[in-house]
Amino acid sequence: MVPGTANELSAHDRMILDLEKTAHTEIARDSLCRRIDLPAEKYSIVLEGLVDTDAAYSYAPDVVERVRRLRAERFAFERRQGRWKTFMQ
C-alpha cells in the first residue's frame, strides 16, 4: 500500500469514495465523472488504484475493504476459469 493520510486525498478522490459509500446508480457515477472531468470508462481504474492507498483506507475503510474483497473474488473467479495464470506454476 501507498502510505498516506486522509488529508492527502484530493477533492476528486474524496468524491469518488463518497459516491462509493452510497448505493449509487450508473447515472450518479456518470454525473460525477462529468463534474470531475473523468472519462466514465476510467472510473473503475481510478477507484482500483485509489483503494490501494492508506489515505483512502483512513478516509473510507468500509469502501476500501469492499472494493478489495470484490477484486479478490474477481481474480479468484478468473483463476478458476483458467484465464488468470500465475508466474509460479
Question: pLDDT digit string (tens) for 21-45?
Answer: 997 899 999 999 999 999 999 999 9
Q: Are 18 and 64 contacting, i.e. CB atoms less than 8 angstroms apart?
A: no
Q: Which three cell numbers stand for residue 34?
A: 462529468
Q: Judge whether 2 lies within some domain.
A: no
Could you give the number of structural domains in the chain? 1
Q: Which three cell numbers stand for residue 84?
A: 488468470
- 8-state DSSP, 5: -
Q: Which three cell numbers stand for residue 27?
A: 447515472
Q: Judge whether 30 lies within some domain.
A: yes
Q: Judge whether 85 lies within some domain.
A: no
Check residue 76 and give its pLDDT. 83
Q: How confident is the model at residue 4 (pLDDT cuts 50, 70, 90)?
A: low
Q: At what angle do helices 61-80 and 11-21 cross, to 10 degrees?
A: 70
The domain of 16 spans 8-80
Give the E-state strand segments of the chain in sequence order: none
- Least reliable range by pLDDT among 29-38, 42-51, 61-70, 79-88: 79-88
Q: pTM of the full predicted structure?
A: 0.78
